[in-house]
Chain A
């Protein structure tokens, strides 16, 4: 059975339907991306999955348990790293543990034990302002992981980074994911990023947003270095772009 199931979720704001009848699932250890244009309802869907807002209809199940409208079960990472400037890196990362009631010492100890794995060694006592953008993103991901080891939602986690940093962070990300096997759904509007990082891609298109296509990327992980230059990669890209164009021209006719 799938680890996370979203069943027929719809949501409107001020009588405007944002997303309609969205169903998706996530298996253990899978990385799935949600690809679509900005303002297409991706973040609305994430807020519902995270339990921050209630859907008008539909449910969210984690391990078969209905968690609709209950925050604190699924971890969530936003586009901004949102590291608190007044806490050291280790205290930032340990925050979800402290919120769950662990005492400071224990939380710090547990958080520190992951610093090597995430390539963050030596930054424990630094403040976020002293770190580079890529390093901050690593710390934010570790915090996300400590918040829930089961499922993470990443809302455009790498979009604030520049091209070159992005490449390095992607590599690091896949590497870490191999180690921690965190089941993840991430939002992106970058087609290359979606193909490069995910096992499956859901395309969210239209207004109201619906899932119009699901594409499995059949390239085994860990992926070869030049995957993004291969024929298969281009074939996936063509398929996605073709589908998005079809959807858009459909919109234009309407």
Chain B
């Protein structure tokens, strides 16, 4: 009870801070300290958001579809990689350094290449998202598998459990919290990855919308779409939290 109260007051402070920043921003615009054309006021942004709402939603659907397909495949791919590397030490030794290496290549740098290879449709976008999202999942899961309690494995072996039973009863559930930590990161990567790859070429999506309003110097719409993207990322992360609570009921207390 007390903790809940504490939590609410904590939230109050952060809400107050955000409101304060918006207020200062509004003041700066009203007092015309900055050229009104370069920096729209929060209210102007809100108006632009409402006016553009149907178009924004249309584009969001495209971006979200890319993000979900990419994330889904990234999870699948990351999961398979982690399981194989956990079960076969040779694969671990061979591929773990390689996986780390792929992460030093910035996603933005390979995106143009993907566009050249796969065109302006969904394929290059999904591929980019898979590349960026599978890593946190694979590494999180793998660390979870590797940190399984040795005594617990010992005990299950004594019970006559085989390799897959040990995996099923000890390693997999034991890696749950690390999996979700990875998924949180991957979920936000997925949205950002989708937007970036849309910048480089596409027919619809929030990234395409962004390049379009940029060319028109519509700063208010720029801000509207930026806020929308961060809002979508937040929403996805919240969804991961809810999913985690549902999947890990033992963590409640």
In contact, A71 and B160 (Cβ under 8 angstroms): yes
Say which residue of B149, B159, B174 sits within 8 Å of A99 (CB atoms).
B159
A13 close to B (CB within 8 Å)? no
| Chain B: minimal CB distance from A82 (Å) | 5
CB A97 to nearest CB in B, in angstroms, measures 10
Would you list which residues of chain B between 217 and 253 have a CB under 8 Å from chain A? 248-250, 253
Q: Which residues of A contact B146 (CB under 8 A)?
A: none
The verdict on A72 contacting chain B, using a C-beta distance below 8 Å, is: yes
Asked whether B158 lies within 8 Å of A72 as measured between CB atoms, the reply is yes
Contact across chains for A76 and B158 when beta carbons are under 8 A apart: yes
Interchain CA distance A96-B154 in the complex, whole Å: 13
Q: Are A52 and B158 in contact (CB under 8 A)?
A: yes
A70 CB, nearest partner CB in chain B, Å: 9
A74 contact set on B, CB distance < 8 A: 158
A82 near B160 with CB under 8 A, answer: no
- Could you say which of B25-33, B125-133, B165-173 contacts chain A? B165-173
Give chain B nearest CB distance to A240 CB in angstroms.
29
Cα–Cα distance between A147 and B165 once the two chains are bound (Å): 15
- Interface residues as binary, A65-91 with B (CB distance below 8 Å gives 1, 0 otherwise): 000000111111010101011110000
Asked if A99 contacts B161 (CB within 8 A), the reply is: yes
Smallest beta-carbon distance A48→chain B, Å = 12
A75 to B176, CA, bound (A): 28
Q: Decide if B155 is an interface residue (CB 8 Å cutoff).
A: yes
* Contact (A86, B154) CB under 8 Å given A71-B160, A99-B165, A127-B250: no
Contact call B174/A86, Cβ cutoff below 8 A = yes
Contact of B151 with A by CB under 8 A: yes
* Docked-complex contact B151 and A82, CB < 8 angstroms: yes
Docked pose: A64 CA to B174 CA in angstroms:
39
Shortest C-beta distance, A135 to chain B (Å), equals 16
Distance from A110 Cβ to chain B, minimum over Cβ atoms (Å):
15
CB closest chain-A residue, reference B173: A86
Interface size class of B (residues with CB under 8 A): 20 to 34
Interface residue ranges of B151-195 to A (CB < 8 Å): 151-152, 154-161, 165, 169-170, 173-174, 176
* Pairwise interchain contact B173-A72, C-beta atoms closer than 8 A: no
Interface flags for A123-149 (1: CB within 8 Å of B; 0: not) read 000010110000000000000000100
B contacts with A: majority SS: helix
Contacts of B160 in A (CB 8 A): 71-73, 99-100
Tell me, in angstroms, the Cα distance from A129 to B154 when the chains sit together.
21
Contact present for B151 and A78 (CB under 8 Å): yes
Q: Which residues of A contact B161 (CB under 8 A)?
A: 72, 99
A148 to chain B: closest residue by CB: B159
Question: CA separation between A99 and B152, bound complex, in Å?
Answer: 14
Bound Cα distance from A145 to B200, whole angstroms: 64
Contacts of B157 in A (CB 8 A): 52, 71
The answer to whether A95 and B169 touch across the interface, beta carbons within 8 angstroms, is yes
Q: Which residue of A is nearest B161, CB measured?
A: A99
Known: A72-B160, A84-B170. Is A129-B250 also a contact (CB below 8 A)? yes
Closest to A83 in B: B152
For A82, give its contact among B152, B176, B248 (CB under 8 Å): B152
Q: Closest approach, in angstroms, between the C-beta of A88 and any C-beta of chain B?
A: 8
Q: Show the binding face of A for B, using Cβ within 8 Å.
A: 50-52, 71-76, 78, 80, 82, 84-87, 95-96, 98-100, 127, 129-130, 147
Given contacts A76-B155, A82-B149, A147-B159, 18 further A-B contacts (CB under 8 A): A52-B154, A71-B157, A71-B159, A72-B159, A73-B160, A74-B158, A75-B158, A75-B159, A78-B151, A82-B155, A84-B173, A85-B250, A95-B156, A95-B159, A96-B159, A98-B169, A99-B161, A99-B169
Closest 6 pairs between A and B when the two form their complex, measured CB to CB: A72-B160, A76-B158, A127-B250, A86-B173, A99-B161, A50-B158
